[in-house]
């Protein structure tokens, strides 16, 4: 295949994306805003999810925001949220759930009045979700988590916060496109790379 043909094929995922939907602005984690963790249960599969609350001026409600902003945190995998990476949910079904970062306790979680069932994601198309896929089944917000060392978090996020306040708001792409795959298309989604090992 000629290189001139490869370039248009590599742009195929962008062409397949819906043109009438605007890209979502990435959220920067604030030490004063909780990180929500929950689960989606659709037998026989349970998917653990994590997300940040949507801004107050956003069109999403607390019952639907997880459909668009949640990222898959199942099977003890590391996830990225709000500009922070290497996060992992620990002790979800215990009395003291927490989020670890780089293997250390990073955010403590509590059951709050907003914890509970959220309903199902109806009418959500694959490419609208930050995690790159639709969550099938009803969702439950289990925990609200707050960062333990707020000063360290603010220091780490100084650059991204400064960029966002100067009008240079970062824009998210779905993780599938950023990695060179597209889960929402049967043409391209047949190949999804993954890490092996334990």
pLDDT one-digit tens code per residue, 17-61: 433 233 344 577 888 889 999 999 888 889 999 999 877 766 767
Contacts of 112 (CB under 8 A, 6+ apart): 34, 144
Q: Which residues of 122-141 are buried (b: 16+ CB within 10 A; e: fewer)?
A: eebebbbbbbbbbbeeebbb
Confidence category of residue 151, pLDDT binned at 50, 70, 90? confident
Contact 68, 52 (CB under 8 A): no
Is the pLDDT at 155 greater than 60, yes or no? yes
Residue 190: the pLDDT is 40
Query: In Å, how far are 22, 83, 109 from 172, measured between CA atoms?
Result: 11, 11, 26
Q: Is 197 left (phi over 0), alpha (psi -120 to 50) or beta?
A: left
Residue 11 located in a structural domain: no
Residue 190 located in a structural domain: no
Residue 140 located in a structural domain: yes
pLDDT tens-place string over residues 112-124? 888 898 877 765 5
Residue 90: the pLDDT is 95
- Global pTM? 0.62
pLDDT tens-place string over residues 74-102? 998 999 998 899 999 999 998 899 999 99
Is the pLDDT at 11 greater than 70, yes or no? no
Domain region containing 41: 24-178
Q: By mean pLDDT, which of 39-48, 99-108, 129-138, 143-152 is the weakest?
A: 129-138
Residue 18: the pLDDT is 34
> Could you give the number of structural domains in the chain?
1
Residue 4 CB neighbours (<10 A): 7
Residue 70 located in a structural domain: yes
Confidence category of residue 181, pLDDT binned at 50, 70, 90? very low
Residue 185 located in a structural domain: no
Is the pLDDT at 157 greater than 70, yes or no? yes
Residue 164: the pLDDT is 52
- Name the one residue in this structure whose structure tokens are 């790379």: 193
Residue 66 located in a structural domain: yes
Query: In Å, how far are 3, 55, 160, 198 from 26, measured between CA atoms?
Result: 34, 11, 10, 31
Q: DSSP string spanning 41-100? A: EETTEEEEEEEPPPPTTSS--TTTHHHHH-EE--TT--EEETTEEEEEEE-TTSSS-EEE
Residue 13 located in a structural domain: no
DSSP, res 132: S
Burial class of residue 191 in the structure, from the number of CB atoms within 10 Å of its CB (0-12 exposed, 13-18 middle, 19+ buried): exposed
Residue 135: the pLDDT is 75
Percent of residues, the chain, with pLDDT higher than 70: 56
């Amino acid at each position: 295949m000629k290189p001139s043909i490869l370039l248009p094929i590599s742009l195929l995922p962008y062409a397949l994306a819906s043109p009438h939907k605007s890209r979502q602005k990435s959220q920067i984690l604030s030490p004063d805003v909780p990180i929500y963790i929950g689960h989606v249960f659709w037998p026989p599969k349970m998917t653990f999810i994590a997300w940040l609350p949507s801004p107050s001026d956003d069109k999403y409600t607390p019952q639907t925001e997880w459909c668009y902003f949640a990222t898959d945190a199942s099977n003890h995998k590391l996830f990225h949220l709000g500009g922070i990476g290497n996060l992992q949910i620990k002790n979800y079904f215990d009395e003291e759930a927490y989020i670890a970062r780089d293997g250390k306790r990073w955010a403590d979680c509590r059951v709050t009045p907003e914890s509970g069932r959220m309903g199902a994601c109806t009418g959500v198309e694959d490419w609208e979700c930050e995690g790159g896929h639709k969550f099938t089944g009803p969702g439950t917000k289990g925990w609200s988590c707050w960062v333990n060392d707020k000063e360290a978090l603010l220091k780490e996020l100084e650059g991204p916060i400064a960029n966002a306040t100067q009008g240079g708001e970062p824009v998210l792409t779905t993780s599938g496109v950023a990695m060179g795959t597209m889960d929402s298309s049967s043409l391209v989604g047949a190949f999804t790379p993954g890490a092996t090992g334990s």
